[in-house]
Amino acid sequence: MTTLTGASRRWTLRGAQTEYTVAVPAHGRWLELVAWGPHGVSDGPSAVAYDGPVPFLTAGDAAAIEYATDADRPFTGADLVVETAAGDRRVGLGYTGEVADPDRRELAVDFADPVTGLRATVHYRVPAGTDVVQRWVELTNAGSGPLKLVRAGSAGFCVPTPHGALLSHQWGQWEQEFQLSHVELGHGAFTIGSAQGVPGHLHVPWLAVRDAAEPAGPTWGVAVAWTGSWEIGAERDTGGLTRVRAGRQLVDGPLELGPGDRLTLPVVTGAYSPDGLDGLARVWHTHQRQLAADRLTPRPVLYNSWEATYFAVEAKSQLELAEIAAELGVETFVVDDGWFVGRNDDTGGLGDWTPDPAKFPAGFDAFIADVRALGLNFGLWVEPECVNPRSRLYAEHPEWVYAVDGRPLTPVRNQYLLDLGRPEVAEFVHSTVDGLLRRYDIDYLKWDFNRPRTEPGRPGAAGPLDLDGAHVANLHRIYERLRHDHPGVLIESCAGGGGRADLAMAARADVFWPSDNTGPLDRLAIQYGFLHANAPHLLSSWVTDAPGMFDLRPRSLAFRFVLAMAGVLGVGADIRSWTAEQRAEAAGWIARYKEIRDVVTHGEVHLIGGPDQARCAVQYTAPDERRVVVLAWHTGRLDGAGLLPSRPVRLPLRGLDPAARYSDGERHYSGTHLTAVGLPVHWSPTHDADLIVLHRD
């Protein structure tokens, strides 16, 4: 991996199909990107290097710097801005050495500032079998004076965009997360982020960058693995280089780094694909599957009672639902919000995690046993970081919530947020969840989080605090501990829908709840964006009766099932009101899902068309290429497709062996036909979705 070039040092990290080459120039003041792309891309003149004139700028402002201080890039955006006790900025660094481990595809390059004693180690890791590069920085104050980190980004990524940068990002709101959008950046900056102490609904910590002239060509991605406040900024310079800065957003103010202190900044991950956004999605999927490691197994089909009973949870109705769910073929029954004392609506109860005896008169154990007797596993909803003012916990520990001394609290959904950075709160949250898992026979946990952090304060605490950092670190620790101690329990990460879906959670949770919006056409757009950044095993999706909020055009039960099969199938409707025909149809879909879910979990994904186009489908090709599953939806986008009389819509499949032959049980196709002409689907106003399984002959 390590090669020496002249007086400068240069290293190449090799992924499955890609390589990432960096070098320290002879002056030794920073690390520079040489090349990032397919194998061999470093073997030739760099597409990002610049050593021409820089009138009215500095050399660093134009260089493809990997990790820049404000001394390196005074004008065009730095990743790290440090202030001394005297208020001086422009702390610069110099190269001091490196540790390279070619076998593990890891590199750590050390820098130090002789004036303040600040040390920075810039880390790289390419996980085996992937085309992503994980980057993070470790800062140590080896000097004698305190330092203030005014900005503490994790990395800068440089992308050649000679004709303008085409940026793709995902925006949203509650009930409308993961909306994929594109913006062309000629000059200037584009910024997204969250100041909410959680990744949030407003933007996904994910960005894709392409050259505007080649939208289907080379595509680079950046995602932040941080479950708190974050930011991603992209700036295109006049020379055609787009530099993406990513990392934490310091919402609590500058971070203090006292003498001897060490701080590890979050991982941000870069990804490369030669095949546009669709190819980039596969690179992210491979990475998330590698993060899931031995937990990457097809998830059970679940039933969740939230939309059927809301807070009116009690044993009788839950068991009625469970009985029908079992008949349909559901495998895990999840009781959502409303099962604990004081929880009859959203104004009380959070914090008091004891089953309500009035709702489970025979006892919670007996209730769970009844569910299990139906052949179902059991799951439970919790929101352990939050507390209602109307709860015993708040009466006993009002000091546990985030608060600014002397200022009123800001309730959101009638609840406050516990300061998880406090050791006693972390202990409470861990022991609450751990206690439930030990006390009751639970296989599945839905961990919710329904409010952002508003108060940047801890009552009585002096000095600046890194509340965001402490909350996230303890949250991650608790997840890791629970997973270690209860390896058989699957954990779903939810934050009022998709507010907590980042790469750090993808490494710790088993599945994400992407949105509370389960209406079919709205959900299609949500899932389409979600799958660009997330693998199908993370996509929890329920079949419900909800119409949606934005596009209320009705869709069939088949549409809803095929849509929920795109990831982890669940049912959330009030199935007590379903007719015998609906239940029979549902049982049929669930049985079919069980036949294909291994391909959905492990297959190579191709996103075909989109929710705003007449064709919209997802193709999953099994790793051994023997089976291809296609899920397709009739969007009815007013272009006539699917109305009478109409030719079939053709779905062009991808990545198939042109010489191979495939059969859907009735018809036979060549790989060339499926790719060039496409798989025909016959849609009409009454037939609006298809699940097609092709077997290789």
Residue 351 sits in the site that holds ligand DGJ (CB under 6 A): no
Q: How far is CA 95 from the centre of its chain?
A: 34
Residue closer to ligand DGJ, measured from CB, 111 or 306: 306
Q: Are the beta carbons of 678 and 653 closer than 8 angstroms?
A: yes
Q: How far is the CB of 275 from ligand DGJ (least distance, A)?
A: 34
Position among 513, 528, 589, 620 found at the interface with ligand DGJ (CB under 6 A): 513
Residue closer to ligand DGJ, measured from CB, 232 or 387: 387
Interatomic CA distance for residues 154 and 123, integer angstroms: 10
From the list 189-197, 268-276, 490-498, 648-656, the region that binds ligand DGJ by CB under 6 A is 490-498
Position among 19, 336, 419, 688 found at the interface with ligand DGJ (CB under 6 A): 336
Helices 315-328, 364-373: axis angle to 10 degrees equals: 20
How many Cβ atoms sit within 10 Å of the Cβ of residue 607? Answer: 18
What beta strand segments (E) does 418-478 contain? 444-447
Interatomic CA distance for residues 111 and 100, integer angstroms: 15
Residue 428 sits in the site that holds ligand DGJ (CB under 6 A): no
What beta strand segments (E) does 431-587 contain? 444-447, 490-493, 511-512, 540-543, 568-571
Position among 468, 516, 522, 688 found at the interface with ligand DGJ (CB under 6 A): 516
Residue closer to ligand DGJ, measured from CB, 496 or 678: 496
The 380-419 contact track toward ligand DGJ, x by CB under 6 A, reads: -x--------------------------------------
Residue 497 sits in the site that holds ligand DGJ (CB under 6 A): yes
Q: How far is the CB of 346 from ligand DGJ (least distance, A)?
A: 6
Position among 448, 502, 688, 690 found at the interface with ligand DGJ (CB under 6 A): 448
Element holding 300 (H helix, E strand): none
Residue 268, amino acid: V
What residues form DSSP beta bridges with 534? Answer: none
Residue 177 sits in the site that holds ligand DGJ (CB under 6 A): no
**Angle at the Cα of 144 (from 140 to 146), degrees rounded to 5?**
70
Residue 450 sits in the site that holds ligand DGJ (CB under 6 A): yes
What residues form DSSP beta bridges with 65? Answer: 32
**Angle at the Cα of 198 (from 192 to 204), degrees rounded to 5?**
35
Position among 175, 231, 331, 337 found at the interface with ligand DGJ (CB under 6 A): 337
* 548: its two tokens: 């949606």
Q: How far is the CB of 415 from ligand DGJ (least distance, A)?
A: 10
- Which residue reads 């099969």 in tokens? 565
Chain residue whose CB lies nearest ligand DGJ: 337
Position among 465, 494, 564, 616 found at the interface with ligand DGJ (CB under 6 A): 494
Residue 353 sits in the site that holds ligand DGJ (CB under 6 A): no
Q: Are the beta carbons of 193 and 203 closer than 8 angstroms?
A: yes
Residue closer to ligand DGJ, measured from CB, 235 or 448: 448
Count of chain residues binding ligand DGJ (CB under 6 A): 11
From the list 372-380, 491-499, 587-595, 616-624, the region that binds ligand DGJ by CB under 6 A is 491-499
Alpha helices (H) along 534-682: 557-564, 580-602, 671-676
Residue closer to ligand DGJ, measured from CB, 331 or 336: 336
What residues form DSSP beta bridges with 108? Answer: 99, 123
Position among 306, 479, 578, 662 found at the interface with ligand DGJ (CB under 6 A): 306
* 388: its two tokens: 């209602």
Q: How far is the CB of 366 from ligand DGJ (least distance, A)?
A: 24
* 43: its two tokens: 């073997």
- Please give the residue ranges that form the binding site for ligand DGJ (CB under 6 A): 306, 336-337, 381, 448, 450, 494, 496-497, 513, 516
